[in-house]
Chain A
């Protein structure tokens, strides 16, 4: 990458440039796509918001969470309550969803920093199945199994009357994603990111260097929980609904599989993961109806393909899609002569952009 364009050295400028480039790409894509695909783009984008936080937590800090679906529910219900009952504007409501997600993250993260591996997985799994039960218990506030419905976001009049709602939703989700890209990019390349990696690689060494292991891990959990809150809030805006059915354990599990499938620890991996989450069900659904199979088989074929893809991908690409692409890219570079190496190509000077995948 650095061979093609002159990449700025300052982390802030790089993150800003990255976010702006991503924004431009989203803008162009949303113009080209139809309304259904715009809706898919919007859902892919809110998934990305959550996955970017989760992949930082698991990839950089080494903590596993099976409970991010529940944290999304927290954000979604916050937005639904504030927009639906209190008639807040969208942006403050989304900010509140982020804040509430972070607040829950403080509680969960403080508990999580004491736990390791499967114990953390078990505790967060219990969170994923336990928290949605609250929505049914206090059905007066949370609308029970039917959930809370909110009005679709109003498209600004300046965009014209024929501007599709789905495209506007994609823009809203995209704006959130850009903020997340900017913040996380800065974070992982700052001292915080280095402390996270230090703690992940060797807790004892990290604490000998003066790092407070529990605090560093809690911080990572809070940031990822804030992302989950924001992503959940976006989900409520795009689907115009916050209901317990959307936040079952399956959601939490598919979030985890998406970050591993995409490539753990990198934001590009989060993009692949989000794409898989949105596109794979549509494709497999389509595929299962294109054969003349019995209803019993075709109804289960998408799930079977999903399971087989998970197994196959882990056997073939242990480091996910991003890892596989990086290997292909590295092989292509090696074969395209060592000429550039003679010019003194400053590949390793950009703050270790390649260290994130692990």
Chain B
């Protein structure tokens, strides 16, 4: 029973990270209809920068916020310099550009920081809570992870639902032509959307780094499972991203705990196919389903 509780708690905290990556992907998908595979490379770069800042100043929180700021800048830069040129073109081309950027960023990181993964400090203790004499597989740092991701999800919801800026961003995503006619600077909204998404992504990078270590390709599984979570929940739905992330985190935690870590990727496939067969647009899809 303790094992079950442990695996559940562990699933929730890893699921929170998948949810953050999924949120980043969903925001970009909603804004520009692009699956941003480069997200994995972008959050890797910002986490490396955080690692350097923490290493040279000794302050975790300085590194944490520098990573978020760099994410914001990097996201805006990538959208403005690269993605703007392929927006509105064949959708596959944008995917290939994102993949190319992922490869390029990983290679550049390898050139600058080397290919050997390095450790990354957690924000809080990683010693599990003591409950009635048994130590849980859930530490203060996991609480922090879950709360931060939850907080970001709520903040994004508030932004999109209740602010003028959020309304303009949604309008640009849903009807760019009409939004432009009504005086919304659509291009700027896209850049802002990418910047915010990259910020959420870099947050996920810093949160997951203590357990996966920092290296050029260390975050690939996080990207893959984040994408899987986004598809699971429905790419158009931010709540779907959060639910998809937690569901995937739980399933993978149970499978790797009871059946062994080698089946984790297979479990992701089974869950995804099972969900998509019932709801081809993800759990939270609102569109009409296609029939065979």
Contact = CB atoms under 8 A, between A and B. Distances in A.
Q: DSSP majority for the A interface? A: helix
10 contacts: A131-B269, A134-B266, A253-B99, A260-B93, A302-B107, A303-B106, A310-B103, A311-B101, A315-B82, A315-B97
B100 interface: yes
A132 B269 CA distance: 12
B205 to A, nearest CB: 19
Contacts, number: 156
A153 B239 CA distance: 55
Contacts of B263: 133, 137
Given A123-B273, A129-B268, A133-B262, A314 B86 contact: yes
Interface residues of B, number: 55
B111 A129 contact: no
Interface residues of A, number: 50
B40 to A, nearest CB: 12
A261 B100 CA distance: 11
Interface in A113-144: 113-119, 121-123, 125-127, 129-134, 136-137
Contact of B272 (A123, A132, A304): A123
Interface of A: 58, 64, 110-111, 113-119, 121-123, 125-127, 129-134, 136-137, 214, 249, 253, 256-257, 260-261, 264, 296-297, 299-304, 306-311, 314-315, 318
Interface stretch (B64-72, B156-164, B275-283): B275-283
B267 to A, nearest CB: 8
Given A300-B108, A318-B90, A310 B100 contact: yes
A129 B269 contact: yes
Nearest to B221: A129
B224 interface: yes
Given A125-B224, A318-B89, A114 B97 contact: no
Contacts of A315: 82, 85-86, 97
A303 B276 contact: no
A115 B111 CA distance: 39
A292 B291 CA distance: 59
A250 to B, nearest CB: 9
Contacts of B115: 296, 299-300
Contacts of A116: 280-281, 290
Contact of B110 (A136, A299, A309): A299
Contacts of B114: 296
Given A122-B231, A137-B263, A296-B111, A114 B276 contact: yes
